[in-house]
Amino acid sequence: MSRLFTAGLLTSLTIALTLMQAHAGELKRCNAQRASYLIGEYLTRTVLEQARVETRAARVIVNPVTQEFDPDRLRVITDLDLKITSMSCG
């Protein structure tokens, strides 16, 4: 009886952990619209970190020249005065 209980408990915990990991990935997806209020602000370290946290991005790149797509990366575009003109994920 105790082996059956232990097997059932382990199976339940395995399923629960699998579901938690699947949902955790959804919650951390980058969403640039969450920080759209920062467009027009001057780029500082504080603003850059605020944008990363708000968008749930894992990484931030400023004025990117790369064509690689990374769904967890925030791309910040500035003008010559370092004023943020746009943001997108990718």
CATH number of 31-90: 3.30.10.10
Residue 43 neighbours by CB under 8 Å, 6+ apart: 62, 76, 78, 82, 83, 84
Instruction: Name the CA radius of gyration of the chain, rounded.
Output: 20
pLDDT in tens, 60-90: 999 998 888 999 999 999 999 999 999 999 9
Q: Phi then psi for 44, rounded to 5 degrees?
A: -130, 170
The reported pLDDT for the residue numbered 4 is: 54
For the segment 7-62, what is each residue's pLDDT rounded down to a tens digit?
Answer: 444 444 455 555 545 455 555 789 999 999 999 999 999 999 999 999 999 999 99
CB atoms within 10 A of CB 15: 10
Q: What CA–CA distance (Å, rounded) separates 6 from 2?
A: 6
